[in-house]
């Protein structure tokens, strides 16, 4: 057996690594500890270690084992300091070190953009800042902390509490020094994406024969504003795919529309048509946006469009709800000729008369194309809407039985709230700009207004399941469903709604028995 001196020499720990020794977890909240730098900070800390560590001479393994609970003894000198740090690491030191690295990284990012003038808080401090380090590795915190020997008082003055997300090297939200704006970064990326999509649209539309199938795929997720008027005219079937034929088609259709005006519009005061014209005249001021619709020129345009359509479609005639379907086409086609970003409140009187005539004719023909696909919604007794509301009820009963049962228990009938959804294509439920975005997809879908709209309504209803289930009264439920809080909705909300509707269509459209009990 070896002598006691040999055992002592064997078990005594030096600076070499020993299996089972204490290994600190380095991360956002526990950067590597530097005893040379922070030793004075630990000595100044008033809090004593929870478990005092004392240097001791271990002569036998039995003595060592009796005094050790979970690891080898750390020994003295630097190992002793390291063990103390494991017990009482100063939080201010940790925060100050992590903050310094993040601030340094942010300033390095700003220095890469010389065109951006640094703000007052971004000016470099040569005497206080550590040398720059690569931003991708948090393991370099220790090497940075070695380069800084400022006193604790200075550190405490600069320290700012950090969230966990701020400890990441590429985080966009840094509390001080070289702050990056996440909204600016996201808007920049968004503008690049929008510019790329706009280029794709322009290339597709500039070809001698536009590929309508490819145009539908590209338009499903939204159409950029500059190319929306031409894209809508193509997708609605108003204009041909061949570029050379478009000018002649526009001219012929516009001439044809104003021939209808000349031939039919004077009969609006005849006994046989005066009821129709009177109802149109009453309904138009009820439309939105009021700032646009109540302008005299716009009112006259809408009256002519609706009256001519009613005269030329005697099977249905004019029905309340058709008037709302004029607005999106008119607003989109006016965007080509109005500088204001908000067309809703634009002064139409400043638009040249010939331009207004062309917009009026284009609006009439595109609205007619839309109504050709859903005309059974507006014939006697409106059988198309009755059928769609029944299908909506069956669909919701399959996808969310709890909501369906809740409505049934409180005697709320789908016809009481969903009739308007089908009659006005959700135009009274969401803002106008959301309707325009919704119609981008409707015109990209086969039978979008007549078929895909059913799944959008189902997704729209289930979207409010939490609020619906919280209501315990018939009146409150009906008031909520007829006045849904969508006033602040944007394109993101519509995109989520359309994505859910597409999922439902994928699950149920080709398997109608799925939504039958």
What string of pLDDT tens digits covers the 517 residues of the chain?
455 555 545 554 544 444 444 444 444 444 554 545 444 444 444 444 445 544 445 445 566 556 655 444 444 444 544 444 444 455 666 567 667 767 776 777 666 555 444 444 444 444 444 444 444 444 333 333 344 444 444 434 444 333 433 333 333 333 333 444 545 545 566 688 889 999 999 999 999 999 999 999 999 999 999 999 999 999 999 999 999 999 999 999 999 999 999 999 999 989 999 999 999 999 999 998 888 888 999 999 999 999 999 999 999 999 999 999 999 999 999 998 887 777 777 888 889 999 999 999 999 999 999 999 999 999 999 999 999 999 999 999 999 999 999 999 999 999 999 999 999 999 999 999 999 999 999 999 988 999 999 999 999 999 999 999 999 999 999 999 999 999 999 999 999 999 999 999 998 877 766 655 5
What DSSP assignment string belongs to 377-418? GSSTT-HHHHHHHHHHHHHHHHH-HHHHHHHHHTT--HHHHH
pLDDT of res. 344 = 76
pLDDT of res. 289 = 87
Neighbours of 471 (CB within 10 A): 19
Contact between residue 257 and residue 361 where contact means Cβ atoms under 8 Å apart: yes
Residue 319 DSSP code: -
pLDDT of res. 102 = 72
Q: How far apart are CA 437 and CA 431, in angstroms?
A: 10
* E runs forming strands in 149-272: none
pTM (global) more than 0.95: no
Q: How far apart are the first and last CA of the chain?
A: 85
Peptide linkage before 289 cis (omega within 30 of 0): yes
What percent of the residues of the chain are helix, what percent strand, and what percent coil, each to the nearest 5?
65, 0, 35
Q: Is 242 helix (H, G, I), strand (E, B) or coil?
A: strand
């Amino acid at each position: 057996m070896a002598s006691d001196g040999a055992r002592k020499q064997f078990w005594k720990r030096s600076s070499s690594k020993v299996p089972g020794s204490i290994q600190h977890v380095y991360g956002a909240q526990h950067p590597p500890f530097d005893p040379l730098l922070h030793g004075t900070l630990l000595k100044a800390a008033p809090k004593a270690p929870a478990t005092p560590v004392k240097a001791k001479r271990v002569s036998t393994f039995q003595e060592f084992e009796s005094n050790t609970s979970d690891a080898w003894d750390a020994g003295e000198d630097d190992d002793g300091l390291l063990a103390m740090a494991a017990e009482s690491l100063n939080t201010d030191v940790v925060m100050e070190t992590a903050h310094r690295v993040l601030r340094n990284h942010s300033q390095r990012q700003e220095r890469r953009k010389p065109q951006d003038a640094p703000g007052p808080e971004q000016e470099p401090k040569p005497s206080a800042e550590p040398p720059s380090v690569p931003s991708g590795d948090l393991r370099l915190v220790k090497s940075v902390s070695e380069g800084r020997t400022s006193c604790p008082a200075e550190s405490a003055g600069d320290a700012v509490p950090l969230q966990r997300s701020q400890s990441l090297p590429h985080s966009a939200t840094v509390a001080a020094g070289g702050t990056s704006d996440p909204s600016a970064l996201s808007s920049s990326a968004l503008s690049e994406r929008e510019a790329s999509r706009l280029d794709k649209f322009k290339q597709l539309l500039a070809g001698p024969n536009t590929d309508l199938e490819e145009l539908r795929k590209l338009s499903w997720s939204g159409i950029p504003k500059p190319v929306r008027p031409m894209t809508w005219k193509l997708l609605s079937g108003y204009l041909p795919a061949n570029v050379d034929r478009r000018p002649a088609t526009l001219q012929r259709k516009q001439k044809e529309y104003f021939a209808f005006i000349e031939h039919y519009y004077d009969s609006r005061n005849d006994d046989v048509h005066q009821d129709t014209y009177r109802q149109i005249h009453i309904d138009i001021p009820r439309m939105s946006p009021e700032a646009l619709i109540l302008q005299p020129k716009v009112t006259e345009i809408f009256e002519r469009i609706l009256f001519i359509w009613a005269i030329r479609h005697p099977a249905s005639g004019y029905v309340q709800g058709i008037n709302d379907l004029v607005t999106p086409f008119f607003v989109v086609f006016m965007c080509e000729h109005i500088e204001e970003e908000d067309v809703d409140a634009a002064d139409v009187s400043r638009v040249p008369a010939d331009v207004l005539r062309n917009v009026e004719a284009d609006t009439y023909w595109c609205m007619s194309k839309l109504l050709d696909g859903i005309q059974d919604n507006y014939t006697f007794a409106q059988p198309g809407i009755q059928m769609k509301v029944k299908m909506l009820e069956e669909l919701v009963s399959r996808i969310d039985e709890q909501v369906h049962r809740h409505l049934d228990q409180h005697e709320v009938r789908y016809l009481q709230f969903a009739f308007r959804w089908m009659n006005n294509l959700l135009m009274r439920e969401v803002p106008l700009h959301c309707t325009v975005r919704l119609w981008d997809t409707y015109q990209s879908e086969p039978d979008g207004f007549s078929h895909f709209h059913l799944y959008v309504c189902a997704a729209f209803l289930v979207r409010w399941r939490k609020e619906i289930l919280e209501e315990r009264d018939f009146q409150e439920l009906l008031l909520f469903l007829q006045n849904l809080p969508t006033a602040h909705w944007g394109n993101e909300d519509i995109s989520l709604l359309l994505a859910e509707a597409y999922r439902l269509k994928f699950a149920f459209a080709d398997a109608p028995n799925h939504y039958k009990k």
